[in-house]
Structure 1
Amino acid sequence: MKGLKLVVIVLVLVAIGGGLWWYWRYSTLYPSTQDAYVQAHVVTVTAEVTGKVTAVHVTENQRVTAGDPLFDLDDTVYKNAVTQAQAQVEAASEAMGSYTKQIEAASALLESATIANDAAQSQLGRVQRLFNDGSAAQASLDQARSAAAQTESGLRAAQAQQAQARAALVANRDTLVSAQAALQTAQLNLDRTKVTSPVDGWVSNITLREGTVVTAYAPLFSMVDNGEWWVDANFKETDLPRITEGQPVTITIDMLPGTTLTGKVGSIGRGSGSTFALLPAENASGNWVKVTQRFPVRIELGSTDPGLRVGASTSVRVDTTGSTN
């Protein structure tokens, strides 16, 4: 009887030892953690211009697609700015035609003055030669000199007029460019009074109401982007040597019983969670106790949204036995 009891005890101890060894081996090959949470990009919605809210088109937790209207702002001031800018552009455009005609007139006047000056200079040269030969009187020479001086003065005046017309055209061209830029800015601000969804996702934490005056770029509410989902899992530092990028991962989600997702290790954090905390832990030398640190491991999900929620608790298990992808 005693021998039978001894055999039973030995078998029980062997079973317990075998079970412990199997659990240790399984934990080594398949490191897991329950310190893991579903994540997605959260986009902060703001207005890009200041104004009073005239309409809100969405409600809390509403699903929207990119480009769907979210809310509108009073656009009266911005419409007036567009009208004013359009008037400035039209005025500058009309002035361009006027200055172009002035340049054409100044160019014609310059051409006429140049011809007259050339003729007067030629006449002066002939009279000068005749005077030197004694065939022309001093009065004829003086008259030719006076005519040449007048035409030269007229030529300079025509040149100055043409230069002035060209300068005015350049200045007006700058004015037109500035007016066109002001019109584009005014139109852009007018368009921004209609705020649309930047992504596909869900409206979250919205308290915006009609009549509220919002300031440009002030946070108003959030949107959960449905474009990409992942899991941030915090593994013990003793597990990290066996975890590499690309290893397959199995994920179970507490809020979705019976649902199992698959994924792979996307990246491993370069710092522990406490490293980036607002107030990192400081261990005094007198009572220091070694604590196993945890490092964030990003898990890329291999399936699309099965009803996921940001921040949902999950359990993650990494398969370190297979090859990486």
Structure 2
Amino acid sequence: MKKYLLTIIVVIAASVVAYKYYLHNQQNPWTRDGQIRAQVVQITPRVTGEITALNVYENRQVEKGELLFEIDRKPYELALNKAKAANAQAAAVLSKAKNEMQRAKGLEARSPGAVATLDLNNYQYAVDSATADFLASKAAVDDAELNLSYTQVFAPANGFITNLRHHVGAQVVANSAVVALIDEDSFWVEGFFKETDLMGVKAKQEASVTLLSNSRDTLSGVVESVGHGIAKSDGSTGNELLPNVNPSFQWIRLAQRIPVRIKLTQLPQDIELRVGTTASVQIHK
């Protein structure tokens, strides 16, 4: 009898523990389908040219405003000198046109009728045209100076250099990404919860995060937002413009996964977050 009684007690205790665990998970949704995310900045040069200096290497940590690499300045210095020369020439033409118009107006003021009205109009047109050319050449100087400044590429944020595949002497093209920079100040956790677990989940609720790479420490966080939509898997266009519908069992309805964004409020100094790594997330409703 004692043996059976002990077995019954153990079974009851296990059932109570399992039931409490079930209630806890019902009241506090949990998922092991979480990932570390961060903003990834694509470092893209504004001008084309050869890399003459490279101040970073793969996985290096950089600070905002730090010089990453330099592009050959010579072609852009030459373009700036040409623009300045054209601007000086335009300024000289404008000065000449203004002097001619002033002489004509002075002569007309001293001797009315000495200068024909058509000539006065032509002098004014010459001044207007020279002014427009001068402004255009000045804008060309500003553009050349801007392009010259673009030969130096700086870090737009604090972060980590990732996927660096270029070296000194490599050719880069304007508006084509060269390297990725992971913004170290933008890390967050994205947990994918079953839609059946999201009842009552809302922003500002506390959350606990456990990294797969470090299960010893539990990180504190807070819910920032809950996703409002996911991509549909059925109904997309397939072959011959027909809808693509995946076969499913009638008696099984799988719950969809909705992303929930978690902001970490506490991060020990000895823990480094890495984009794409796995985490478990529990929300305390």
Q: TM-score, normalising length from structure 1?
A: 0.78
| Corresponding residue number in structure 2 for 1:188 | 146
- Is 1:98 the counterpart of 2:96 in the alignment? yes
Instruction: Find the residue that maps to 1:24 and give its secondary structure.
Output: helix
| Corresponding residue number in structure 1 for 2:275 | 310
| Corresponding residue number in structure 2 for 1:65 | 63
Instruction: Find the residue that maps to 1:290 and give its secondary structure.
Output: coil
| Deviation string, structure 1 residues 32-90 (Cα, Å, up to 9, x no partner) | 11110111101111211111111211001111112211111112111111001001111
Distance in 2 of aligned mates of 1:65 and 1:298 = 26
| Deviation string, structure 1 residues 255-304 (Cα, Å, up to 9, x no partner) | 2343322111111112246659x999833267774212211111011136
Distance in 2 of aligned mates of 1:285 and 1:34 = 25
Q: 1:84 to 1:179 in 2, by over 3 A?
A: same
**Correspondence for 1:174 among 124, 132, 138:** 132
> Quick one: percent identity of the two aligned structures?
30
| Corresponding residue number in structure 1 for 2:257 | 294
- Is 1:234 the counterpart of 2:192 in the alignment? yes
Distance in 2 of aligned mates of 1:7 and 1:197 = 70
Pick the structure with more helix per residue. 1
* Correspondence 1:141-290 to 2 at 5 A: 154-155=113-114, 157-272=115-230, 282-284=245-247, 289-290=252-253
Which amino acid in structure 2 is aligned with residue 303 of structure 1? Q
TM-superposed CA distance for 1:191, in Å, is 1.0
| Corresponding residue number in structure 2 for 1:40 | 38
| Corresponding residue number in structure 2 for 1:144 | none
Distance in 1 of aligned mates of 2:128 and 2:254 = 74
Q: Which 10-residue stretch deviates more, 299-308 or 171-180?
A: 299-308
Larger radius of gyration: 1
Unaligned stretches of 5+ in structure 1?
115-153, 321-325
Which amino acid in structure 1 is aligned with residue 193 of structure 2? F
Q: TM-score, normalising length from structure 2?
A: 0.89
Q: 1:56 to 1:180 in 2, by over 3 A?
A: same
Q: 1:253 to 1:279 in 2, by over 3 A?
A: farther
Contact map agreement 1:106 1:158 (CA 8 A) in 2: no
Unaligned stretches of 5+ in structure 2?
239-243
Instruction: Find the residue that maps to 1:259 and give its secondary structure.
Output: strand
Distance in 1 of aligned mates of 2:231 and 2:101 = 73
